[in-house]
Structure 1
């Protein structure tokens, strides 16, 4: 089974982010860097959960909120001087691309609501020959 593209993008962003977070000052490794790391893992967890759920709308909105929080934390790290501008720019590109994918996913979910189980079984019974 092929993995979701958004999941793979988030995994690549996490790998990049871990390299950057290692360069944070020791005083911030257990505060801001830990918060950023946890936020990245929550984002990945939410994508996996959303993919498995039947009703995806609320969990997909949680992904959007988590992504917004991660953007803010990365921006704060750059403003405080813990993150060089070039690394911030690369990380922001990762986040922008993931955000576009989440936006497209949310748009698809809104336009394709799940069908209730009773309608699905009725449609199958009408389509099958007797």
Structure 2
């Protein structure tokens, strides 16, 4: 599964982005650069967890949120002139591809059935007392 396109694209983006943010000026390195790297690493961790977890959909939704944070930080970096327009354009292309792959995976992953859909009674205080 780790050779799946989303893992490959994410890894390639990491190889490209980490050296770039490492060259941010000192005043931005410990704030914006750290957030960029953390979001990217968190995204990778969440998609890896999705493969090995029983809560696949939850991890994928969290990965989607992390990708949105990453996009926001990239835009801020470009607005602060820490990324050139070409670098920002390349980053946008990478994140767009990763987002499409993640969206496809999310659509293919069924939502967990609710207790009522499984024919179970919801766990309420009344239900617990009756047992």
User: TM-score range, shorter-chain basis?
Assistant: 0.7 to 0.9
Q: Is the 8 A contact 1:60 1:106 kept in 2?
A: yes
TM-score by length of 2: 0.80
Partner of 1:9: 9
What pairs with 1:92-111 in structure 2 (closer than 5 Å)?
92-110=92-110
Partner of 2:82: 82
Structure 1 gap ranges (5+)? 115-130
Bigger shift: 53-62 or 8-17? 53-62
CA gap of 1:106–1:84, structure 2 versus 1, over 3 A, is same
TM-fit CA distance, 1:20: 1.5
1:65 aligns with 2:62: no
> Aligned to 2:46, what secondary structure does the other structure show?
helix
Per-residue CA deviation, residues 56-96 of structure 1 (Å, 9 max, x unaligned), is 11111001000000000000110111111100000110000
TM-fit CA distance, 1:2: 5.7
Higher relative contact order (CA 8 A, sep 6+): 1
TM-score by length of 1: 0.80
